[in-house]
Structure 1
């Protein structure tokens, strides 16, 4: 038997499907990276009256693990065009629907699907120190029960074997889900330049905004202004900036391990310079 909340969600999804043709599709997506502040940015943007979040939850995960459900299912998650027209009249700007699913950046098929189904869409990407991101991701997956190896260093050693053949498998079976690719890619998800280079020919450099999450948390107003300018949305005041989905920091890595991982990421961090317009904060 469904709980009250599950019943409400089921009714909402059914209603959404029935009215899918009258609903918006996203104008932009926050696509990752995982554990880089995407939830905090999403909640700040959702306070803008012309930026319309999904009806039910933050991340729809259509272009990564839900693509077999079809575009009408995806569209059902977003607000009605009629409501958006009211907002346009009230605030003098075009409302834009959006969502945030951090696996989109890393999934090998998501970029192709986004480019095909959302022509003209813009992408917002956040990056952070990839060593810190890897530690945070391990703690996150461990807490959620998707990781069984409690020692970060050993989980990193297991990664190559866990992810061997994962991308090939996902391309061969496009609607499948690879558990380790989604939950155990501690180093691979921090090689941001690889993922951005895959997206660039699909969408174009001008439709991808890459932000340093350290700078976002240090100066949220400035980052918020950059995002609004990128989206061509009028500035209507600042939201309340809060940090979401944080976890207690794991014990410090031995300096030798941190140095080894920083060396691993150095070539990829160097390739981020053209996306960020300068050195990433963790390399200054």
Structure 2
């Protein structure tokens, strides 16, 4: 089933009239910024998200966000807020979090993306406390490819800052061993089952949508 069809079924969006005028279609199809921030008219206001893209890092979360933002019934937060996984932002409170969201109409879905949520030990409980009915999207890739991609980003970030660089093999494997270094963060981020198991202590599987990021890259409609 197509990704958007699943989301629409979960939210019963097929029963809601969609924007049909050529003016509306033109606005949503051509103005990228409008997909993130609608004009704050009478029934448009900032709302807490009903759906989160919680991970995974380097799994295709930005592509997923941009894909679902194409539909006028979905409004997405433009930046990663890190509300549930960073204490300093969480302490700012729910009202602060709401102010980070785009303007939306009552019938629209607000989506926020922060890939760091899935690996956080704090996020799941905090999300549950705010909204026990939250829908959770997770996009995953081949864990080896994802780890290499994660390492590459870290590598070039260090390179730009003139920091000490390490070879991939030296950080992924334990010293003088063929065993994987499970404490290395890019490897930890690829332990999908471990992170999902933690989240499943707080939310039922029915509230998750797991997306194959490898297939999504080549044929997003298949997901």
Summarize deviations over 1:99-156 as a string: whole Å, max 9, x none: 1110000011111111111221110001111111111101111222387433111122
Instruction: Tell me what 1:73 maps to.
Output: 96
How many matched pairs? Answer: 170
Instruction: Tell me what 2:83 maps to.
Output: 62
Identify the match of residue 26 of structure 1 among 49, 56, 67: 49
Q: Tell me, in whole angstroms, the C-alpha distance in 1 between the residues paired with 2:201 and 2:218.
A: 32
Q: Which has the larger share of helix?
A: 1
**Is the aligned partner of 1:206 residue 2:206?**
yes
Q: Give the unaligned 5+ runs of structure 2.
A: 1-39, 175-179
Instruction: Tell me what 1:123 maps to.
Output: 136
Summarize deviations over 1:251-279 as a string: whole Å, max 9, x none: xxxxxxxxxxxxxxxxxxxxxxxxxxxxx
Q: Tell me, in whole angstroms, the C-alpha distance in 2 between the residues paired with 1:32 and 1:107.
A: 10
Instruction: Tell me what 1:44 maps to.
Output: 67
**Is the aligned partner of 1:151 residue 2:174?**
no
Q: Tell me, in whole angstroms, the C-alpha distance in 1 between the residues paired with 2:165 and 2:173.
A: 11
Q: Give the unaligned 5+ runs of structure 1.
A: 1-15, 17-21, 86-93, 164-183, 224-284
Q: Tell me, in whole angstroms, the C-alpha distance in 1 between the residues paired with 2:220 and 2:46.
A: 31
SS in 2 for 1:186: helix
Summarize deviations over 1:7-31 as a string: whole Å, max 9, x none: xxxxxxxxx9xxxxx5211010111
- Normalising by the residue count of structure 1, what TM-score does the alignment of the two structures yield? 0.56
SS in 2 for 1:52: strand
- Normalising by the residue count of structure 2, what TM-score does the alignment of the two structures yield? 0.70
Give the superposed CA RMSD.
Answer: 2.2
Q: How does 1:137-216 map to 2 (within 5 A)?
A: 137-145=150-158, 148-157=164-173, 163=183, 185-216=185-216
Instruction: Tell me what 1:262 maps to.
Output: none
Native 8 Å contact 1:142 1:148 kept in 2:
no
Native 8 Å contact 1:26 1:118 kept in 2:
no
Q: Tell me, in whole angstroms, the C-alpha distance in 1 between the residues paired with 2:90 and 2:108.
A: 25
Q: Tell me, in whole angstroms, the C-alpha distance in 1 between the residues paired with 2:136 and 2:189.
A: 17
